[in-house]
Structures are given as C-alpha cells and as structure tokens.
Amino acid sequence: MAVHLHQIAVDTHDLPSLARFWCAVLDWKVLFEDEGEIVIGADETARPGMCFLPVPEGRTAKNRLHIDLAPDDRDAEVERIIGLGATRVDVGQGGDATWVVLADPEGNEFCVLRPRKTLTD
C-alpha cells in the first residue's frame, strides 16, 4: 500500500492538558513536545498517533470527524474516562444505542462502543 494513516491532528487551546488527557485515555505517551505541537502515541513506530496543535478560536459546531474507542468493558471505560475529565454528551443517540458519546475537556465528541472484534461487527 502506498499510503497509511499516520496521525490524527487535533486543534486545541491547551496543548499539554488535552494531550495528557488523551495519553491517559489511550495509555499512550508524549513522543514529542514543543510550544507549537505535541505528538502522542503508543510508541514512536506505532501508527496512528495524535498531534495536538494550538489554535486561537474555539470549537463552534459539532465535530465533522470523531474518534470511536472499542474497549473490553464499555461501562467501566466510560466511568474511567469520565474520571479523567470527559463529560457525557447527548447528540440525539437513542436509549438503545450500543455506544456512549463523551466529550474531551475541550468539547470534542468521541464514542465509546460496545466491545468489538472486527471493524464491521
């Protein structure tokens, strides 16, 4: 294959805080840090990573792209991630949804899915 997913770029007001939140959620580490960007990942060779970049403006609309997490135990992970600073978000998902929508400390929505074995189950 000629191309691969390298990293996900995330605009933020507080680079260190948001990068460390996602490190805690994903059990990743900071791989590079300066005043203009912070890169996190499982290690330097594992892809994809996440790159946090400073922006002056705040988020004004629903995310056009979001992250889905697939844990072994959805409910336990939801509680753990809320303990790290996430909040529950209602985006219109029904009570029968098999996922939980959360927002990171800067309001970026992401989903915690039921346990999954493949990309299509």
**pLDDT tens across the length of the chain (121 residues):** 689 889 999 999 999 999 999 999 999 999 999 999 999 999 999 999 999 999 988 777 777 788 999 999 999 999 999 999 999 998 888 888 899 999 999 999 999 999 988 888 7
Rounded Cα–Cα distance for residues 7 and 41 (Å): 9
CA nearest to 110, candidates 83, 79, 80, 78 = 78
- In this structure, which amino acid lies at residue 89? V
Rounded Cα–Cα distance for residues 55 and 27 (Å): 25
Structural domains of the chain sorted by starting position, each given as residue range(s) with its CATH number in brackets: 1-56 (3.30.720.120), 66-121 (3.10.180.10)
CA nearest to 19, candidates 41, 47, 43 = 41
